[in-house]
Amino acid sequence: MRKVNSEKSLPRSWLRSLIFHYLWEQNNSFSKFHLISCYILLFLGKAAAVGVPYFFKTAVDTLHQSISLIPYALLISYGFLRGLAVTLIEIQEVLFTPLKQRAVRLISTKAFSFLYELNMDFHFEKRIGDVSTIIEKGSRSLEKLLQYSMFSLIPTLIEILFVLLTVFIFYDSISAFLIGLSISLYIFFTICLTNWRSKFADLANKEDIKCNSSIVESLLMYETIKQFSNESHEIKRHDKLQAAYEQKTNKSKYGIAVLSIGQAIIIAGSLSIIMCYCAFKVGQHSYTLGDFILVNSYLMQLFQPLNILSFTYREIKEAVYHTKQLLFFLNSKSVVENSKNALPLKIYKGQITFENVFFNYKNSCSLLRDINMLIPPKTRVAIVGESGSGKTTLGRLLTRVYQVDKGIISIDGQNIKKVTHQSLREEIGVVPQDVLLFNESIFYNVHYGNFKATHDEVKQAIEQSNLGELISRLPEGHHTIVGERGVKLSGGERQRIAIARILLKNPSILIFDEATSALDNHTEQIIQKQFKEIARNKTTLIITHRLSTVTDCDKIFVLKKGILVEQGTHEGLLSAQGYYYDLWQTQQDAYLQQLFSLQPVVSPAEYNVVKGGNL
């Protein structure tokens, strides 16, 4: 298991490295040429935009000198440059869009794939809505970063540089200084106010994530909410979250109003002072009328993008925040990795061994202590015990959903820590108590067991799992959509789909984890019979608390509070009259009470049969 870095470990240059990685390192030579072309077009486009006022200024001066001399060439050049500047920027955007979208796809796919590298603790502790929001907003924020930096921030900075150099070289340093001072004051004020209101925006974002998480959770828990008639409670809870979001958002909007007013004052003051100075220079015959118009054009040309600088800066800052959240997600949790030089698992017989295995959940006392079990190949064994004894955890350790703290689990002599995850899980099939299905067709959910299987093989698995009768009653047959998590089907029908999946997967080892505990007796008997058929000649682990379902197992392992206290056959364990015997008697008494409640009169013979173990 690998512990990756925390939030504080992000390097200072993380943003530059991230953009460089996804825009340059992840692209081929052709895409890199596109990227270089984008920057060349950006530079040329801004150079043309700066040249537009100069041609207009020259045309005005020519007309001012003599009304009879119409500067057609200058006016045509003025129009051409204006059109060229816009055209170059649009071509740049066309070239850059595929690069930007590819970067978004790459980081989104990386985040999605990382979900499957995380250990089970993460999935138990993290809210689904939180994770989906972090991935979605984080991926789209990279797009925003690229968009606003390439088409707003960088172009504006280039244009400011061109304008200041032009005014400084061709006019005087005072004009350049006044323009530079105005822009600097505007940028400084914008950044300070935006940072001040960003704390409210960040709080609003956190409340927004909570609201989204609440919606997702309510959808997942819809049936439970209805069963307890708690719709009003959920609505009030969501409204409370929305009220908190509303409060934080309002404060953020107030900050925007203050920012906009301040920016307007700076722009108005700067225009007045600079244009008064230019008018003074015109009066001294240092500037021409065209120069006066040129400076005014430059100011308007600069203040137009600067007017949305606060929006651009705010969007970039927010995008940086969400991108950082995504990186924290990718770098803040434990993952179970393949060990160095891990090899594929090779099944020879299917023998499973637990040697001195210890395990505890995060921040809890030891759950499994010194477990030693030998499961011979192609046998049916049961792992039984009360709830919380560690039965299901043993199955999860075998599939490496969890990692053992101490000890060795091996299959045919191969330590599962030294084999690849994929090869291990390909050889193990799990049928859980609560079979979860995709909101897709029955055919798709069965095919999910082995996507390499042909159409005929999937249909054969469906028939072998006794799904034929169900499918014949459905208008769309095996193309019927089963609903979210398979809610349109009964428990028994979902279990049959699970059986079909296992048949299609055809693993060497089977784990039935409380697979029939939620079914009625009639359905349970049918499913149990099918389990026995698919488990033939396979090493099979049956995890259950219902002892009546494992009486014919080759061996039974008995857990008590994380300790293996007994093992043997059903008859042998009853004869020993130990912990297993006590569990058996408790369940028999519970069955008798149920039997008496359903059937008031029970003969002594029936009573003795039940007490004798023939449940």
| Three-class SS of 6-47 | CHHHCCCCHHHHHHHHHHHHCCCHHHHHHHHHHHHHHHHHHH
**Mean pLDDT value across residues 519-533:** 74
| Percent of the chain's residues with pLDDT above 90 | 18
The alpha-helical segments, DSSP class H, found in 66-172 are 72-115, 120-125, 128-148, 154-170
Write out the H or E segment, with its range, that includes residue 549. Answer: none
Residue type, 513: D
> Given 1.10.10.10, 1.10.3720.10, 1.10.1060.10, 1.20.1560.10, which CATH number is that of 11-171?
1.20.1560.10
- Global confidence as pTM: 0.66
Domain 352-437+502-596 in CATH 3.40.50.300? The answer is yes
Cα(61)–Cα(82) distance, integer angstroms: 19
Show me where the domains of the chain are located. 11-171, 172-286, 352-437+502-596
What average pLDDT does this structure show over 270-291?
A: 89
Average pLDDT, the chain: 82
pLDDT of residue 422: 86
**Does the structure show a pLDDT above 50 at 232?**
yes
Strand order in the sheet with 414-415: 368-375, 352-359, 406-411, 414-415
Residue 613, pLDDT > 60, answer no
Q: Which residues contact 601 (CB under 8 A, 6 or more apart)?
A: none
Sign (positive or negative) of CA dihedral 480, 483, 486, 490: negative
Unique residue bearing structure tokens 């956190």: 206
The model's pLDDT over 460-518, given as tens digits with 9 standing for 90+, comes to 888 888 887 888 888 888 888 887 767 788 877 888 888 888 888 889 999 988 876 66
Tell me which of 376-390, 393-407, 525-539 is least confident.
Answer: 525-539
- pLDDT, tens only, 62-82: 887 766 667 788 888 888 888
Q: How far apart are CA 552 and CA 146, in angstroms?
A: 65
Distance CA 281, CA 284 (A): 5
Condensed to tens digits (0 to 9), the pLDDT of residues 195-230 reads 787 777 777 877 887 888 788 778 777 767 876 777
**Band of residue 300 on the pLDDT scale cut at 50, 70, 90:** confident
CB 575 within 8 A of CB 402: no
| pLDDT given for residue 377 in this prediction | 93
Give residue 595's pLDDT: 61
Tokens representing 399 are 């599939």
Using the predicted structure, report yes or no on whether residue 428 has a pLDDT greater than 70.
yes
CA dist 461 and 469 (Å) reads 14
Nearest to 554 by CA among 539, 574, 565, 533: 539
Please state, in angstroms and rounded to a whole number, the distance separating the CA atoms of residues 166 and 280. 20
Residues 570-575 have a mean pLDDT of: 93
Per-residue confidence (pLDDT) for residue 69, from 0 to 100: 66
Q: How many CB atoms lie within 10 A of CB 164?
A: 18
Give the confidence band of 335 by pLDDT, cuts at 50, 70, 90. low
Selected residue with higher pLDDT from 162 and 526: 162
| Virtual torsion, Cα 488, 493, 499, 501, nearest 10 deg | -20
AA identity, residue 21: H
Can you tell me the distance from the alpha carbon of 398 to that of 404, in angstroms, rounded to the nearest whole number?
Answer: 9
Per-residue pLDDT at 385 exceeds 50: yes
Quickly state the pLDDT bin for 191 (edges 50, 70, 90): confident
Quote the CA–CA distance of 541 and 556 in Å, as a whole number: 10
Sort 579 into a burial class: Cβ within 10 Å, 0-12 / 13-18 / 19+.
Answer: middle
> What's the per-residue H, E or C state across 377-401?
CCCEEEEECCCCCCHHHHHHHHCCC
Q: Is residue 526 scored above 80 in pLDDT?
A: no
Residue 377: CB atoms within 10 Å = 17
Tokens of 514: 């409380």
Mean of pLDDT values over 374-386: 93
User: Does residue 496 contact residue 465 with C-beta atoms inside 8 Å?
Assistant: yes
pLDDT digits 0-9 by tens, 119-136? 766 666 666 667 777 888
Please say if the pLDDT value at position 158 is more than 50. yes
* C-alpha–C-alpha distance, residues 584 and 550, integer Å: 11
Q: Give the residue-averaged pLDDT of 583-595.
A: 77
pLDDT given for residue 127 in this prediction: 65
Give me the mean pLDDT over the 76-98 stretch.
Answer: 87
> Which pair of structure tokens corresponds to residue 609?
């049969």
Q: Are the C-beta atoms of residues 95 and 37 closer than 8 Å to each other? A: yes
Cα–Cα distance for residue pair 558/555, rounded to 1 Å: 10
State how far the alpha carbon of 462 is from the alpha carbons of 455, 477, 517, in Å: 11, 11, 23
Question: What residues have CB less than 8 Å from 353, skipping those under 6 apart?
Answer: 373, 374, 375, 408, 409, 410, 411, 413
Per-residue pLDDT reduced to its tens digit, 538-554: 999 999 888 888 888 99
Alpha-carbon separation of residue 71 from 66, 80, 85, 344 (angstroms): 10, 14, 21, 80
- 3-state SS class at 469: helix
Complete DSSP assignment for 260-323? HHHHHHHHHHHHHHHHHHHHHHHHTTSS-HHHHHHHHHHHHHHHHHHHTHHHHHHHHHHHHHHH
Phi and psi at residue 490, to the nearest 5°? -75, 170
The answer to whether the beta carbons of residues 323 and 181 sit under 8 Å apart is no
pLDDT at 366: 63
Instruction: Identify which has the larger pLDDT, 440 or 410.
Output: 410
> What's the rounded Cα separation, in Å, for the pair 45 and 28?
26
The pLDDT assigned to 125 comes to 65
Helix (H) or strand (E) holding 476: none
Q: Which residue has the higher pLDDT, 420 or 599?
A: 420
Predicted local confidence at residue 598, as pLDDT = 52
